[in-house]
Each structure stands twice: as C-alpha cells, then as structure tokens.
A and B are shown apart, each in its own frame.
Chain A
Amino acid sequence: MIPIRCHKLSVAFGTLRAVDELDLVVEPGAIYGLLGPNGAGKTTAIKSMMNIIGRTSGSAEIFGRDSRQLRHDDFTRIGYVSENQDLPTWMTVGYLMRYLEPFYPTWDNERATQLLRLFDLPLDRSLRHLSRGMLMKAALASSLAYRPRLLVLDEPFSGLDPLVREELIEGMLETAEESTILVSSHDLGEIETFASHIGYMDRGRLVFSEEMSVLTTRFREVEVTIAEPADLTRDPRWPDRWLRPEVSPAVVRFIDTAYDPELTPAHVRQLFRGVRDISARPIPLRTIFVTMARNSREFSKGVAA
C-alpha cells in the first residue's frame, strides 16, 4: 500500500492557489524530504494530506484511503509533528504521554521511556515551560512511541540548535526501518544526511521528485575552461537546464540540472570554441535548493516584467 499518493492536488484560498495540481508519491520505506522556499505550499499540501484542511480539487490518499475519509483509527498508524501545531501546553510531558497512550493500540511504554530518555525530557515539566526545541522533542516522542507506519514532519528543525536537531533526527531515524517518513524542511544540510528521496516544491507545484542518488547525479557543477573569452549566456542556444552561469575571461561555470557524462561535454563543445577542459563535480543539496529557488525567483521576475 502506497503511504502517500497525491494526484493533481490543489488547495486554493480565494484566488491564491497555495497548492497547484501537486502530483506526489511517497513509496513505502522512503524518507522523503519535501523542500521548497517559503510560501511554496509544502505545509498546505501536508495539511491537506492529513485532512487538517480541505482541498479544492484533485486527490490525496494515505495508505490508499482518501485523505478526507481518514478516520480516527487511521491516525493510530500516522504520526504528525509540525512546528505549526498547538500542543496542550497545560499538560506536563508525563501527562501528555499518559494521556495519549490509551489512544494507540501499538503504544510501547518501553519505547516511550527510551525516547524520553533520549530526548532528555523532564516528565514533570509542563509543556508551556519547555523551549521550542524541547516542545518539538516532546511532540516527536509522543508520535514515535506507538511506532507509526507513516511519520509526517512539517518543518521540525527550523529554528532549533544543532544539538536538538541531531537528537530529533536520531529519534526519527530509529523508526526509519519500520516507517515511511515525509519531512518538509529548510534544513537542507540535515535532510541530505538521511533523505532517500527529495521533492522540490515551488509556487504550489512539485518541480521535481526523485531519489537522492539520482538527484545528486543529475545536478552537477560544470566548469569549462576556454581559450577565447565568450559570454554565451544570452545566446538562444544556451540550454534552459544550465543554471546560475558565472563567466570570467577564461572560465565559464554553470549548474547542469540534467547532467549526462557524454551529452553535456558534447553540448559544451558545440557551444564554445576552443574548449580546453571540462570538469563536472557533484554539488550539495543546499546548492541545488538555492539554484532552483533563485532560478524560480528570476523566472517569476521575468514573467512579471
């Protein structure tokens, strides 16, 4: 059963299409990192998938069930942690865990204790007296203790210090073997370390969605050393998939979003005269994200102009 499948999912608020015909599939066992700039529609899409908000058109299914039909027993196998969630802050950590336990048939007290220890959460402290990081840890602990089959994390790391992030990731990865995880985040460095799949959303649409290994192979920073200085970035032959070009008298650098070890050098040689050297190196996820975000912004400006 596919944990998450969205087909042309759209969510509009008045005239604003926050999510626009989103097609997204999260395979079982995947750790899917959903990336995108602020306002891309990640949180809205996730809320619609979790039936927290409605949708305008399209479909979203969780384990094959229409998200609008999600019943309370479906949520016994779904964990959802979000920075946008209001926890009952009058409860203590211990009360929260005790309160939630009867809701879940698979609640594992031993695991709950382990998680509380791992996250160093004081049982008798009320949630309102916890820092943001501690709150996220409490929310995650209360969502991992029943070993959910699907864990959805919406911006869990934003604004947290590195130590807390590490602890959260460690806790999350402990369930990775038995769960499918969807995590939306700006924290690209962290996502890169554990995501098996990456999706990139922008202006409500999924720009790409691929396995991490394919993605890092596809995106390459290409450096071309040339004998004759030439600025061909405005040449109509300059391919759309070559982004963020940097031109100096002897060197042209760009990011190829569809790198092919044979086709890309051939294409470079067609475009430039006197090519002395072509090198291509993998780039970190952060650079991919920044490239895509900037390109999208420039595209928007162009459309607006």
Chain B
Amino acid sequence: MKQALHILRKDFDYVRIEVAIFVLLAAAFAWMKLHVQNDEWSDPVLALAAAYLIARSVHADGIPGDRQFWLTRPYSRKSLLFAKLLFVAVCVSLPVALAELTVALRAGFDLKETIGPLLLSQALLFVFGALPILGLAALTTGIIPFIVIALALTLLWMGGSSAVEFWFPAYAYSIPGPVEWIRSTMFSVPIVVVTIIAIVWQYRSRATNSSRILAIAGLNVAALLFLFIPASFALQTQSWFSKKPDLASGITITARHQDRYTAALVKFAEGEMMEVPFVIEVDHLPPNVEVRADDLVISGSLNGLEFNQLRQPGIERRSQQDDRATFEVTMIVSPRLFQSDGYVPLKLKGSLYLTLFGDDENSLVSLRARAAPAPSGLRCTMTQMTDRARSVPPPPGAEQEWHPADSIVCRSLFQWPGKLVYAQSGEHLADFSNTRISYAPFNVGFSLTPFETRWSVPVDSDTVTLITRKPLVHFRRDFELKNVTLADFEARR
C-alpha cells in the first residue's frame, strides 16, 4: 500500500498539468450540463480526456517493452497495479463524481438520494469504462499506439455497426428497447472479464502477446454476442426478473382478423410492401394493471412452407378496458404473395411478449416550483414549450388563434426510472415517452450525464398528479391464426 501511494504520488507529479486540465474540463462539464440545453459535446470531450489521462498514467510505467527503467527496480507488481487503479479513482473518477454531484444538487436533487446512484454510476463507469481503457493502455507501448488502436477500434465498431445495420437489419434491431440492457450486459461482461484477466496477467507476468490475443478473442466474443443474441433470449431472461409472476397466470390471448379487411400497400426503402393487419386480444387481465407489448414474433406458412416476413411486425395497443386489452398488429409481407398465393389459406403462429404494470404511486405535484419532488425520485417543473402550440378552432370567418403551451419537464437521477410515468390533469393523461423505458434492475446507465430529462405533451394545469407504474410481470403468450386468405383483404394504397 505504501509503495502504491508512493507510485501514485509520482504519477500525479508526472501528469499534474493534465490532471489540472481534466479538473477544469470536469468543471466545464458541470457548467454545460446546467446551462446548455442540448449539450452534445461535454460528454465525449470529458470521456476522451479521461481516456488520455488514464493512458498517460499507465504508460508512465508501461508494461510492454524492454527498456522501462522500473523493470529492474524493486517495484511490487501488485503495488504498481494498485497505484494505477488508485490514480483512476482519485484523478479521474473523483473529479467526475464531484462534477456530477454538483450538477445533481443544482438540478434540485438531495445529497442523500444522490449519493447511492452516484456511487453506483461511478462504479459502472470505472468497471465498464475506465478498466477497458486501462487494459488497452497496459497492452500498448505508448500514447501514440494507444490512440491509433483506440481509433481503429472505434472505427471498426462504427463501421461494423453500420455494416450490420445495412446487411443484417434483422439482427441490428432485433432486441426491443426495454430489454436492450440484457444485450448491453452480455456485450460488456465478456469485455470486462477479459479486461480484468488481461490486466492482472500483464501486471503479473508481462505476457503482452498472450494478453493481446486474449483481448482480441474477448472482443470478438462480445461482438458476436451483441449481434446474435436473439430477442427471445433477452425477453425470456427478463421474465426471470418478474416481481409478481403469478399475476399473469390466468391471462389468455387470441388472434383474429380485423373487422375491416384492408391491407395497405406501403413504400419502404426496400420497395413496396403489404401491411396486413390483424388483432390480438388479451383477456382475463387482473384489475389495476396496464398491459404493454414488448415484442411480437410471427411465423407464417403457406401450403406447409414457411414464408419470410420482410420486416418486424408492428404492434400497437388500441384499447384496454375492464379485463381485456386489444392490440393491433401489422404484418408486412411481399405484394407478390397476394398475386401468387392470395387464395391459399395461410397459417400464422406467433408469440407475444407482454408486461403488466401496476402498483401505482401517485403524487400531486405543483409545477410552479423549480424542481418539485415527484414519485420515483423525479424532479418536475413546468416549462413553456412554444407560444404557437395549440390552435383553438376559430369561429367561422375568424382567424386561427394560437396559444402558448406548457410542457412538464421531469428529471431523473442518471437514468429514467424503469416505470411508466404519467402526468394526469383532469381527464387528460400525458405520457413521458413510456415506450423508451428500460427494465434494467439498476437505476443508472453507462453515462456521464447525471440526469435524464423527459418532456410530456402540453398540459393545461400547473398542478398535476404524477403517476408511476412499476413493471410487475414479463411473460409470453403464443397464438395461432388459421385460414387467413390474403385475397380477402382489400389492397389499398
């Protein structure tokens, strides 16, 4: 420990100017978060500066090579590694944490409620951000190779993502947003495991070539997992996190045709396609729950042969009343199917992944305050969105009238809660992009920004009831729809 502190002091002396600049950048980051609305620059700048600082400290006593003076000095390898980790904690994580804390406090959050998520966020950033950077630095001989390899990896990642989106769109968009955290975790965990092994190996044995091979293998495994994890696996995994699995036991679903047999011919980037609608009814819902669809998988067969759907089917909840919810499904098929096999009975099989939300928390919130406390740690206020938001239908002959509109702005520490959030004002229920929530069990994400902000649609009153609704159970129901003949649908443009 003593030696680690001694090396840390040396490293601090070595990069004291860079550390001072980093502290200034962290302060600028805090200022930007509080004063610039759509700040896009402070996060990447701070992340790049942190990466540079970590690499400089690691390269001060570099591992690969045979010319470093410390190799023949009584350096304890454990102390050396500990010194580098301490450096990251003290010179990188601490300024960032202080900047984030300042931002959170100034944004209206309490110190007590901020500390826990702040520490968890810093732990995530340390493990999933700083450690891989430290690992890369420990595998490179200097700052230039470090930058070149980091750039190459970034370009590879961006190029690879674009290539996958272009050639394998089914894989790129296969995971529904709420369970994306499972894919991210499956991607990040191998990287972190390999990083830890490579770092320990490097500092213990200086086995640079073996460590590099291990790192490349780990990256490949992570990339493959990221690309090819099926949505069904992520959704099944999510179901293990259900808080009240029994709630779904009596729920059934049935699929049926739409009342109106209309199929729309729609233009997509790939060409014209047919949107074939049908309906799924979810019955026997327990009281006081809201049901939402996370994903829908359909396979169809014609004369015993499977046919491909050209795109992921769309699903939207049309209504939920009493114990029944109705979802409208849009299946996308080739127009050629209509022409060639329109009269052949079609058999559709599918699985619908659903989540029930409930256990509401309500709170009457006066939005005149700068940051009014709301359920789930939210801080909300009213902000004028536009002065030409809503027109009142004018009397005949009169001119259109425009009114200013207010919107509710809520902030959540680090990450939006994994719950549905509504603002109720009279009969009006405003939503906060509830389709973009995450079911992750931890309430922080891999981000430097200490809060997430969302806006509701305009509301009339400055006193609203904020409602949050927890996910209670994630489950799957299978269905079958037989004897569909596409010729029954009236194709319309």
Tell me how far the C-beta of B225 lies from the nearest C-beta in chain A, rounded to whole angstroms: 33
Q: Which of A72-86 contact B (CB under 8 A)?
A: 72-76, 78, 80, 84-86
Total interface residues in chain B, CB < 8 Å: 18
Known contacts A102-B6, A103-B3: A88-B69 contact under CB 8 Å = yes
Contact B74 A104 (CB under 8 A): yes
- Tell me the smallest distance from the CB of B419 to a CB of chain A, in Å: 52
A194 lies within 8 A of chain B by Cβ: no
- B67, B72, B74: the one contacting A50 at CB < 8 Å is B72
Residues from chain A with Cβ under 8 Å of B10 in the complex: 99
Nearest residue, chain A, Cβ from B14: A90
Q: Which of A85, A88, A139 contacts B60 (CB 8 A)?
A: A88
Is there an interface contact between A88 and B14, defined as CB atoms closer than 8 Å?
Answer: yes
Q: Within residues 471 to 490 of chain B, which ones have a CB less than 8 A from any CB in chain A?
A: none
A52 touches B6 (CB 8 A): no
Task: Report the separation of the CA atoms of residues A99 and B66 in the bound assembly, to the nearest whole angstrom.
Answer: 21
A244 interface residue per 8 A CB criterion: no
Q: Is A47 an interface residue (CB 8 A)?
A: yes
Which residues from chain A contact B72 at a C-beta distance below 8 Å?
A: 50, 52, 75, 78, 80, 85
B73 interfacial contact with A, CB 8 Å? yes
Q: Which residue of B lies closest to A68 (CB)?
A: B205
- Most chain-B Cβ atoms within 10 A of its Cβ — which of A47, A52, A73, A139? A52
Question: In A46-75, which residues have CB < 8 Å from any B CB?
Answer: 47, 50-53, 72-75
Contact A52 to B71, CB < 8 A, known contacts A88-B14, A102-B3, A102-B6 = yes
Is A214 an interface residue, CB under 8 A from the partner? no
A100 interface hit (Cβ, 8 Å): yes
Contacts of A90 in B (CB 8 A): 14
A268 interface residue (CB < 8 Å to B): no
Please tell me if the beta carbons of A85 and B69 are within 8 angstroms of each other in the complex: yes
Q: A86-B68, A88-B14, A90-B14 are in contact. Are A103 and B73 (CB under 8 A)?
A: yes
Smallest CB separation, B435 vs chain A (Å): 54
A52 lies within 8 A of B66 (CB): yes
Residue contact B76 to A47, C-beta cutoff 8 Å: no
B77 on interface, CB distance cutoff 8 Å: yes
Contact residues in A for B3 (Cβ distance below 8 Å): 102-103
Asked if A86 contacts B67 (CB within 8 A), the reply is yes
A92-125 contacts to B, CB under 8 A, are: 95, 99-100, 102-104
Please measure, in the bound complex, the distance between the C-alpha atom of A90 and the C-alpha atom of B10, giving whole angstroms: 11
B146-163, CB under 8 A of A: which get 1 and which 0?
000000000000000000
B74 A76 Cβ-Cβ under 8 A: yes
**How far, in whole Å, are A148 and B68 apart by their CA atoms in the complex?**
19
Mask for B1-12, Cβ within 8 A of A = 1, else 0?
A: 011001000100
Q: Is A87 an interface residue (CB 8 A)?
A: yes
A51 to B69 CA separation, bound complex (whole angstroms): 13
CB neighbors of A among B65-120 (8 A) = 66-69, 71-77
| Chain B residues, Cβ within 8 Å of A75 | 72-75
Q: Is the CB of B69 within 8 A of A72?
A: no
Determine whether the beta carbon of B73 is less than 8 Å from that of A53.
Answer: no
A86–B73 Cα distance when bound, in Å, is: 13
* From B13, B14, B66, B75, residue with most partner A Cβ within 10 Å: B66
Residues of A within 8 A of B75 (CB): 72, 75, 103
User: Taking each of B2, B6, B72, B77, which has the highest tally of chain A beta carbons within 10 Å of its own beta carbon?
Assistant: B72
The distance in angstroms between the C-alpha atoms of A139 and B73, with both chains bound, is: 12
Say how far B368's CB is from chain A's closest CB, in angstroms: 57
CB atoms of B77 and A53 under 8 A apart: no
Q: A-facing mask of B203-240, CB < 8 A → 1, else 0? A: 00000000000000000000000000000000000000
A104 CB to nearest B CB, Å: 7
The reply to whether A72 and B74 contact each other, CB–CB distance below 8 Å, is yes
Question: In whole Å, how far is A51's beta carbon from the nearest beta carbon of chain B?
Answer: 8
Which chain A positions have C-beta within 8 A of B13?
Answer: 95
Give the residue name and chain of the B residue nearest to A51 (CB): B71
Q: How far is the CB of A277 from chain B (nearest CB, A)?
A: 54
Interface residue ranges of B6-51 to A (CB < 8 Å): 6, 10, 13-14
Q: How far is the CA of A51 from the CA of B71 in the complex (A)?
A: 8
How many angstroms between the C-alpha atoms of A102 and B8 in the bound complex?
A: 13
A202 CA / B399 CA spacing, docked (Å) = 101
A95, chain B: closest CB distance, angstroms: 8
Cα A95 to Cα B74 with chains together (Å): 17
B66/A53 in contact, CB under 8 A:
yes
A73 touches B74 (CB 8 A): yes
Q: Tell me which residues across on chain A come within 8 A of B14, comparing CB atoms.
A: 88, 90
- Residues of B within 8 Å of A102, CB to CB, are 2-3, 6
| Given known contacts A72-B76, A88-B60, A90-B14, A50 and B6 CB-to-CB distance under 8 angstroms | no
B416 → chain A, closest Cβ, in Å? Answer: 46
**Residues on B with beta carbons closer than 8 Å to the beta carbon of A52:** 66, 71-72
Q: Write the A120-136 contact mask toward B (1 if CB under 8 angstroms, else 0).
A: 00000000000000000
Which B-chain residue is minimally distant from A143 (CB atoms)? B72
A47 to B67, CA, bound (A): 10
Q: For residue B61, which residue of chain A has the nearest CB?
A: A88
Inter-chain CA distance A103–B71, complex, in Å, is: 13
Bound-state CA distance A114–B77 (Å) is: 31
Q: How far is the CA of A47 from the CA of B65 in the complex (A)?
A: 11
Q: How many angstroms between the C-alpha atoms of A95 and B6 in the bound complex?
A: 13
| Chain A residues in 8 Å Cβ range of B66 | 47, 52-53, 84
**Do the beta carbons of B73 and A100 come within 8 Å of each other?**
yes
| Bound Cα distance from A88 to B73, whole angstroms | 13
Query: Which single residue of chain A is at the shortest CB-CB distance from B79?
Result: A72
Collect the chain A residues with CB atoms within 8 Å of residue B67's CB. Answer: 84-86
Q: In the docked arrangement, what's the CA distance between A73 and B78, Å? A: 13
A33 CB to closest chain B CB, in angstroms? Answer: 20
**Chain B window 325-340, contacts with chain A (Cβ cutoff 8 Å), 1 for yes, 0 for no:** 0000000000000000
Interchain CB contact under 8 A, A103 and B69 = no
Q: Could you tell me if A50 and B69 are in contact, using CB atoms closer than 8 angstroms?
A: no
Which chain B positions have C-beta within 8 A of A51? 71
Chain A: which residue is nearest B62 at the CB level? A86
Known: A52-B66, A52-B72, A80-B72. 13 other contacts (CB 8 A): A47-B66, A52-B71, A72-B75, A75-B73, A84-B66, A85-B72, A86-B68, A86-B69, A95-B13, A100-B73, A102-B2, A103-B6, A104-B74
Chain B residues in the interface with A (C-beta under 8 A): 2-3, 6, 10, 13-14, 60, 66-69, 71-77
Can you identify 11 A-B contacts, CB atoms within 8 angstroms?
Answer: A73-B74, A75-B72, A75-B73, A84-B66, A85-B69, A85-B72, A88-B14, A88-B60, A88-B69, A102-B2, A103-B74
* A-B complex: 8 closest residue pairs judged by Cβ atoms: A80-B72, A75-B74, A72-B74, A86-B67, A72-B76, A103-B74, A76-B74, A52-B66
